[in-house]
Amino acid sequence: DAGVTQSPTHLIKTRGQHVTLRCSPISGHKSVSWYQQVLGQGPQFIFQYYEKEERGRGNFPDRFSARQFPNYSSELNVNALLLGDSALYLCASSYLTDTQYFGPGTRLTVL
């Protein structure tokens, strides 16, 4: 198993645009969580999905949304991008409520 995979690796967008980030969990893992990591800070929780339902939401504006598909992969969508959305976006998967395994992240740059 390749572990958690994320695409794309890097992304450059301009202010006001929309972005979609993708995550494939480890086989057998039904829970996916998204985190935002700004330079110099620890990861901050955005969303958790389990069995296609939202289980938790962090303190992020409504411009951020996510969904989970029947195969347990997930998308994170961000609308009306701001400069402050530039960050590393991490996806983590877990089996039930066990250890979270992180992907390599998607580096988003907003110009």
Partner 1 sequence: AQRVTQPEKLLSVFKGAPVELKCNYSYSGSPELFWYVQYSRQRLQLLLRHISRESIKGFTADLNKGETSFHLKKPFAQEEDSAMYYCALTQNSGNEKLTFGTGTRLTIIP
56 binds partner 1 (CB under 8 A): yes
- Which one, 49 or 78, has the nearer CB to partner 1? 49
Kindly identify the residues of this chain, within the stretch 58-77, that bind partner 1 according to CB under 8 A: 58
Rama region for 58: left / alpha / beta (φ>0; ψ in -120 to 50; rest): beta
3 contacts partner 1 (rule: CB under 8 A): yes
Window 73-102: contact mask with partner 1 (x via CB under 8 A): -----------------x-x-x--x-xxxx
Among residues 21, 89, 103, 108, which is the contact residue for partner 1, using CB under 8 A? 103
Q: How far apart are CA 95 and CA 89, in angstroms?
A: 21
Binds partner 1 (CB under 8 A): choice among 24, 31, 68, 106: 31
Q: Would you give the DSSP letter of residue 16?
A: T
Q: By C-alpha distance, which of 108, 96, 111, 105 is closest to 35? A: 105
59 Cα distance to chain centroid: 14
Size of the site for partner 1 (CB under 8 A): 26
